[in-house]
Amino acid sequence: MSVAIADVERARGVVAPVLHRTPILSSRALGERIGASAFLKAENFQRTGSFKPRGAVYAVSRLSAEQRAAGIVTMSAGNAAQAIAFAASTARVKVTVAMPETAPQTKVDATRGYGAEVVFAADMTKLIALVETLRSKTGAYFLHPYDDAAMVAGHGTVALEILEDVPDADVLVVGVGGGGLIAGVATAAKAKRPGARVIGVEPAGANAMRRALDAGVPVRLERIDTIADGLAAPIAGILPLEIVRRLVDDVVVVDDAVIAEGVRFLAQRAKLVAEPAGGAAVGALLAGAVRVRPGERVVAIVSGGNVDASRLADILRG
């Protein structure tokens, strides 16, 4: 099952009354660096601190009565955990989240604060096995954090807002983890503005989508090593991969130094607090990994701002 623009528009009717319509901010400083008109979609201002509730609220709304009664189990390094916990709490559905032991404590605390039970796996690569164990023991419904049509449709509402605020956008730059956000953005953007380019940015230490594109099928990562925990999916989603192959113009891979520079730039020049995942798109533009043409209108999605103070201080010190 794929996702169409009608699904994204339907999702917007559900999520808009619950979530924020985040601002588009122009950035002359970024524009001067890249030779284009630059804009920042500030999803770090979204409820729970990232874009993730867009998909989570819509996905929970689509659950059957039986699925709600059984409860939800999911997996995440943090942002999806918070978002699904938030969405489940508003719908009064029990949720258990499998998180890696390396998850930032702020994200663990926030997930618990929304009422979720948190259980831990040794690292990101062990999450799926833990979810399977939990599901078999409890009978809970597995709500996948990114390989889910409703999740993708909800995330696509970001692009609807972008193209209302910047209707002549030429390039949309998106951080990529499992692919849910970029799949939703591409679905909406290519339907509303077919000539716009959609470019993904992925960490070298967690390049699940790039490897999937090169192999033609999802490839499970044996090791993940990146500061961008929000982009550290152990495998690309099957549905996102199908959409990315069809609609996304490119997925580029950058190292952590590039991502860190994006975080620093946002803090120093745009006065935005971004986590590494949220700084990836800007970092790739600054480094020239995403090439734009002179005078184009470029939108970078600042996908989240959930970063530990100590991690942020380390990055800002360089």
Q: What pLDDT does 185 receive?
A: 98
Same domain, 284 and 310: yes
User: Are the C-beta atoms of residues 281 and 201 closer than 8 Å to each other?
Assistant: yes
Average pLDDT over residues 293-299: 97
- Domain with residue 164: its CATH number is 3.40.50.1100
Main-chain phi, psi angles of 309, to 5 degrees: -60, -40
Place of tokens 């956008």: 169
Same domain, 46 and 171: yes
pLDDT, tens digit (0-9, with 9 covering 90-100), for 205-222: 999 999 999 999 999 999
Nearest to 156 by CA among 201, 186, 177: 186
State the Cα torsion 277-299-150-60 to the nearest 10°: 60
Q: What pLDDT does 77 receive?
A: 79
Same domain, 140 and 281: no
pLDDT, tens digit (0-9, with 9 covering 90-100), for 15-52: 999 999 999 999 999 999 999 999 999 999 999 999 99
User: Are the C-beta atoms of residues 221 and 206 closer than 8 Å to each other?
Assistant: yes
Q: In angstroms, rounded to a whole number, what is the distance separating the alpha carbons of residues 114 and 80?
A: 12
Q: In angstroms, rounded to a whole number, what is the distance separating the alpha carbons of residues 267 and 53?
A: 24
pLDDT, tens digit (0-9, with 9 covering 90-100), for 156-185: 999 999 999 999 999 999 999 999 999 999
Q: Which of 109, 132, 148 lies at the terminal end of a domain, its last residue? A: 148
Same domain, 46 and 137: no
Same domain, 158 and 254: yes
pLDDT, tens digit (0-9, with 9 covering 90-100), for 42-88: 999 999 999 999 999 999 999 999 999 999 999 987 789 999 999 99
Q: Is the pLDDT of residue 252 over 80?
A: yes
pLDDT, tens digit (0-9, with 9 covering 90-100), for 257-267: 999 999 999 99
In DSSP terms, 39 is beta-bridged to 26, 299
Instruction: Count the Cβ atoms, other than its own, within 10 Å of residue 121.
Output: 20
Under the banding of pLDDT at 50, 70 and 90, the label for residue 288 is very high
Q: Which of 117, 148, 179 lies at the terminal end of a domain, its last residue? A: 148
- Domain count of the chain? 2
Same domain, 12 and 87: no
Nearest to 188 by CA among 2, 4, 1: 4
Q: Which of 27, 37, 50, 303 is catalytic?
A: 303
Residue 192 annotated as catalytic:
no
Average pLDDT over residues 240-265: 98
Same domain, 120 and 198: no
Q: What pLDDT does 242 receive?
A: 98
Same domain, 183 and 226: yes
Q: Which of 148, 180, 199 lies at the terminal end of a domain, its last residue? A: 148
The pLDDT > 90 percentage for the chain reads 91
Same domain, 203 and 157: yes
pLDDT, tens digit (0-9, with 9 covering 90-100), for 95-143: 999 998 988 888 899 999 999 999 999 988 888 899 999 999 999 999 9
Same domain, 71 and 200: no
Residue 2 annotated as catalytic:
no
Q: SS3 for 253?
A: strand
Distance of CA 245 to the CA centre of its chain: 18
Q: What is the radius of gyration, based on Cα positions, of the chain? A: 18
Q: Which of 52, 107, 190, 192 is catalytic?
A: 52
Q: What pLDDT does 78 receive?
A: 79
Same domain, 16 and 41: yes
Same domain, 72 and 120: yes
Q: What pLDDT does 1 receive?
A: 67
Q: What pLDDT does 164 receive?
A: 98
What is the pairing mode between strands 37-42 and 297-302?
A: parallel
Range of the domain at 135: 53-148
247 is written with which tokens?
């609609």
